[in-house]
Amino acid sequence: MTEADARLIAETARAIPALDEAAGAAARARQARLTKPPGALGRLESLSEDIAAMTGRDRPRLEHRAIVVAAGDHGVAARGVSAYPPEVTAQMVANFLGGGAAISVLAHVAGARLRVVDAGVRGPTGDDPRLLRLRIGPGTADITEHPAMPPEHARRSLAAGIELVREEHDTGLDLLGLGEMGIGNSTAAAAIVAAVTGLPPRSVTGRGTGVDDSHYAAKIAAVEAALARHRSVGGDGVSLLASLGGYEIGVLAGCYLAAASLRVPVLVDGLISGAAALVAAAIEPRAARYMLASHLGVEPGHRATLEHLGLRPILDFELRLGEGTGAALAMNVCLAACRLLDEMATFDEAGVSDSDQATAPED
């Protein structure tokens, strides 16, 4: 399976196309003819143009929307880096499926189907048919002492994300949002951000679930120890994932690669979703062309991630929940931007004089 997974990852990365500049230009030309002053809709205009270039459609509709939430446990949680016990990961998976979580509500508001994935949860997650039970491993090892996972597990998680998005695309997929759940995963994500950006651990490590000072100190110490333990990780995405990541991070990174290969815009959520984006971009930098930053989270590592990827956030709502909540909210903005581009009338269609045609009023 390892060789097949490696081939799938490489083939998917090679398949990522250039942006469709002609579609983007056509969208800009239509924006210039719509019944409004030039630039009056601000970033909604450029957002729709960007999505046109990604999708290759000059009037994208984004009819089919999905959000993937991948869950996994982390051995580093034993270091006291979270305010919640590890069993919360499995409990929240049940909450996602039961409709009681924030992302359950916001996915419904966005008109997006919600796919919940057990990528590597340590505890039992039941046999709900709506749950994709990958169970690549029973949570990661403690990254302060060991690699997070074997390389073959890293490749399997990436390949599983690719396979998932391909399946979703077969049923219709125009816009994808990515979220996660996993006690301890903001520590792993901070380590990935520090490793990729070269920034000091303290500058990219936040309080995650809202930990107190003692837990925060333990979290920074864990990130520092993980980086010292894996200082030779380099820029290879698979090695980065295997050394510092999580099973859910790997699945999401595979989703980014597959979405890009299929011309599907994908919304980056918070810190952990952003760390997965860094892994995907380390495997194939062109994947970042198809990423949209849904929001700017309060975690310092999130800002560093978006800056590294060259992404400008759509929203700034001081979110720090994860789960894909920011992606779901921004999904509505993307839909509105594209509907405005497609459904607003041009000056000619509406019979309205534009600024070049208007004549000065008589005295």
Among all residues, which ones are annotated catalytic? 323
Question: What span, in angstroms and rounded, lies between the C-alpha atoms of 81 and 216?
Answer: 7
Q: At what angle do helices 300-309 and 271-283 cross, to 10 degrees?
A: 30
Two structure tokens written together for 10: 């490489």
279, 249 Cβ separation under 8 angstroms: yes
Burial 17-40 (b: 16+ CB within 10 A, else e): eebbeebbebbbebbeebebeeee
Question: What span, in angstroms and rounded, lies between the C-alpha atoms of 202 and 199?
Answer: 8
In the 3-class helix/strand/coil scheme, how is 9-20 assigned residue by residue?
HHHHHHCCCCCC
Alpha carbons within 13 angstroms on the beta-carbon side of residue 230 total 30
